[in-house]
Amino acid sequence: MLRGLLTLTWLEIKIFVREPLGVFGTVAVPVLIFVLFGRLFGPRMRGSVPVPRFVSADLPIFASILIVLGAVMSVVTVVAIYREGGILKRLRATPLRPYTILLAHVAVKLGFVLLTLGLMVLAGRRYYPIGADVPWLSFTLALLFTTICLISLGFVLASLVPTARFAQPLGTLVFYPMLGLCGLFVPIAALPSPLQMAAKLLPLTYCVSLLRGIWQGEGWFAHLGDVGALLLVLVGASALSVRLFRWE
Amino acid sequence: MIRVAGIRKTYGRTVAVDDVSFDVYAGEIFGLIGPNGAGKTTTMECVEGLRAPDAGTISVLGLNPRRDVYQLQDRIGVQLQEAQLQKRIKVREAVDLWASLYRKPVEPGRLIEQLGLLDKRDAWFMTLSGGQKQRLFIALALINDPELVFLDELTTGLDPQARRAIWELVRGIRHRGKTVFLTTHLMEEAERLCDRVAILDHGRIVDVGTPSELVRRHCPERTVIVGTGEPSAAERFRAIPHVLSVAEDGTSIVIAGAGDDLVTRVIQAVATHGIAVTSFRTEAPTLEDVFLKLTGHAIRD
C-alpha cells in the first residue's frame, strides 16, 4: 500500500498548496516573524534593547515548537473537515487501508515543518548564524519525533471534536496553555511546586527539554527520559485514537 | 449477486434496519426505495461492508463483506450519499488517484470522456455543479470495472434535466452487463430505472417485485376520464363489468374499475352506444400509490 500512500501524500501536498492563505500562514508567517525578531533583538542590536532570555538562548526551540504546534492544529482541523465532508468515508470505501489516509496527512505536515524550518534557517542566517557545532541531523530527527508524538495527541482531539468548527478552538485550548508551563518562558525549576508537577505531566515539557538538549549538543543518551516519556505519549495516544476515531 | 438474510442494525434504542432480507440478481437494476430515514443507506452500507449488521448474514459475489472487505472492494464500485472530495482536487487527479488504488483499472481518460467530464477534467471539485459532481462519483465507482455498482441516492438535489442524464448513464452501466444496486426516495426514478424494487419502511421490507408487479398486486384499479356532455353516458358506463364507481360533474365522467381490460371495455362502450366524446384519458396507479397503500403514509412525509 506504499504506492497509495505516496500518491495520496503527493496529491494532498498539491491540494494544500492550492490554498494560498494556508501556505502563507504555514510557511511564510513563521519565517517573517522570525526575521522580524531577528531585526529587533538580533546579535547586532544586543546591548541597546533588553533581550528576553528565551530569545537569546531558546529562539530555535521556540520557533520549532510553534511550527510543530501549527502543524498539529492543522492536522486536527483537516481531519475534522474531511470527516464532516464525508471525504474520509469516501476514501475508506476504496482498497486504501484506513491508516494510509491519515498517514498521508501526517507526512504532508512533517514535510511542511521541515520546509518552514529550513527556510527559517536560511532567512535567519544574517541575524542568527548557526554555529557549526549544532548537531543538525540529530535535531531534525528529534524534531520529527516530537512532531509525530504531538500529532498522535492531535488525533485524539480529532477523534473527539464533534464538528470541524470546534477543531481549531479546541486545539488552541489544549495546546497553547502547555506553552506557558513547558519551560520555554520560565525555567521549570523556577515555578511554584504545584505548577512544576503540572509541567511534568505535559508532553510539551518533554518536547522542549529534548529539542533544547539536542540543540545544545547534549546527545540522545542524556535525554532518554524525555524520549521515553514521549514514546509513552505516542503509544498511549495512538491506542486511544484507534479506539475513539470516527470516520464519519 | 447479493443475498441478504435477516439483517438487523440498531443505533442505541433506535432500530434502523429490522429483519431485512432480499436478493439481487446478476444484470439487473435493483432499487431499495422508501422515505428518508427508512434504513436504505444503513442497509446498503452493510452490504458494501462499511458497516457491520448486529444480526443476519450477507453474501456479496460469494464473499462476506466484513471479512473479505478488501477482496470485495476490488470487485465492486461504490457511490456514497452526500459524499464530498477535497475542495481543490481536480477531476483528473481524483480519477487518477482512484485508478492507482485498484488492480485492474480502466483507462482514466476514456472514463472521463464517457461521463462527459472532458472539459472539466482540470476543474477543482468545489467548482463543479451538482450533476457534474455526481458524474465524477459515478466515474470513481466505475474505475475498477466492477461487476456490481452501488448507487446511494444518486440524483437527490439534481434538477430534472441532470437527473435524466444520470438515468441514461445508469442504464448504460446495466447495458455493459453490470449489476446495479441503488437506493432512492424518488418513486419516479424507481419506476423508470429499476427492474425490481424492494419497498422499505421503518427498517422493514414491505414488499419486493418489479414495479408493474407491485402496482398490479396492490393497486389494480384503473381510472378512465371521459369528457362528454351526454346525460345517458354515465348509465352506460355503470353497466360495464368490474366498474367500481362512476362519478360525473356535467362535463366529464370519472370511471374507476379493476383490471387491465377496463380501458378496452370503456372504449367498446363508447363505440357501441355512439357516445360523443370530447376528451379521453386514463390514469394508472404508480409506485407512489403502492407506497401510500402499503405504508399508510406518503413517501415525502
Indicate whether B146 and B131 sit together in one domain: yes
Split chain A (248 residues) into runs of 10 and give each run's mean pLDDT. Answer: 85 91 84 79 57 65 87 90 90 87 91 89 74 80 93 92 87 86 84 88 92 89 93 94 88
Cβ <8 Å between A87 and B85: yes
Indicate whether B167 and B58 sit together in one domain: yes
Mutation target to probe the A interface, by most A beta carbons within 10 A, among B84, B90, B126, B134 is B84
Is B111 within the bounds of a domain? yes
Domain boundary among B192, B216, B240: B216
Q: Check residue B59 and give its pLDDT.
A: 95
Cβ <8 Å between A95 and B102: yes
Q: Check residue A43 and give its pLDDT.
A: 59
Q: For position B275, which CATH number holds? A: 3.30.70.2190
Is B69 within the bounds of a domain? yes
Are B98 and B105 in contact by the 8 Å Cβ rule? The answer is: yes
Q: Residue B89 corresponds to which cell in the numbers above?
A: 482536487
Mutation target to probe the B interface, by most B beta carbons within 10 A, among A15, A16, A248 is A15
Per-residue 3-state assignment (H helix, E strand, C coil) for A47-64: CCECCCHHHHHHHHHHHH
Indicate whether B202 and B226 sit together in one domain: no
Is B182 within the bounds of a domain? yes
**What is the full DSSP assignment across B140-189?**
HHHTT--SEEEEESTTTT--HHHHHHHHHHHHHHHHTT-EEEEEES-HHH
Cβ <8 Å between B101 and A82: no
Helix (H), strand (E) at residue A131:
none
Q: Which of B48, B84, B98 sits opposite A85 (nearest CB)?
A: B84
Indicate whether B165 and B237 sit together in one domain: no
Any B CB within 8 A of A39 CB: no
Q: Check residue A37 and give its pLDDT.
A: 74
- pTM value > 0.90: no
Rounded CA gap, B97 and A129, in Å? 43
Indicate whether B71 and B179 sit together in one domain: yes
Please determine, for the modelled complex, whether the ipTM score is greater than 0.85. Answer: no
> What is the domain extent for residue B238?
220-284
Q: Check residue B300 and give its pLDDT.
A: 63
* pLDDT of B301 strictly over 70: no
Q: Check residue A26 and give its pLDDT.
A: 82
Indicate whether B201 and B227 sit together in one domain: no
Share of chain B above pLDDT 90, in %: 60
Number of structural domains found in chain A? 1
Q: Check residue A130 and give its pLDDT.
A: 67
For residues B265-282, average pLDDT? 91
Q: Which of A85, A86, A96 sits opposite B101 (nearest CB)?
A: A96
Helix (H), strand (E) at residue A2:
helix A2-17
Q: Residue B22 corresponds to which cell in the numbers above?
A: 432480499
Indicate whether B45 and B116 sit together in one domain: yes
Helix (H), strand (E) at residue B252:
strand B252-258
Indicate whether B152 and B8 sit together in one domain: yes
Cβ <8 Å between A89 and B88: no
Q: For position B166, which CATH number holds? A: 3.40.50.300
Is B297 within the bounds of a domain? no
Indicate whether B203 and B232 sit together in one domain: no
Number of structural domains found in chain B? 2
Indicate whether B193 and B105 sit together in one domain: yes
Q: Check residue A59 and give its pLDDT.
A: 77
Any B CB within 8 A of A15 CB: yes
> What Å distances lie between residue A38 and A46, A69, A82, A124, B134, CA to CA?
11, 21, 38, 7, 52
Rounded CA gap, A135 and A155, in Å? 30
Q: Check residue A217 and give its pLDDT.
A: 85
Which residues in A lie closer than 8 A to residue B80 (C-beta atoms)? 86, 89-90, 93
Indicate whether B240 and B172 sit together in one domain: no
Q: Check residue A46 and give its pLDDT.
A: 53
Q: B92 to chain A: nearest residue by CA?
A: A11
Q: Check residue A80 and give its pLDDT.
A: 92
Dihedral sign, Cα of residue B233, residue B235, residue B240, residue B246 = positive
What's the pLDDT band for B22 if we cut at 50, 70, 90?
very high
Q: Check residue A97 and give its pLDDT.
A: 84
Indicate whether B107 and B177 sit together in one domain: yes
For B221-257, the pLDDT digits (tens) are 889 999 988 888 888 899 898 888 899 887 899 999 8
Cβ <8 Å between A94 and B101: yes
Q: Check residue A34 and give its pLDDT.
A: 78
What's the pLDDT band for B89 if we cut at 50, 70, 90?
very high
Is B134 within the bounds of a domain? yes
For B163-216, the pLDDT digits (tens) are 898 899 899 999 999 999 999 999 999 999 999 999 999 999 999 999 999 998
Domain boundary among B216, B231, B255: B216
- The residue assigned the cell 472514463 is B111
User: Please, which residues have CB within 8 angstroms of residue B10's CB and are 6 or more apart in sequence?
Assistant: B16, B54
Are A143 and A68 in contact by the 8 Å Cβ rule? The answer is: yes
CA B186 to chain A, closest CA, distance in angstroms equals: 23
> What is the domain extent for residue A62?
2-244
Is B178 within the bounds of a domain? yes
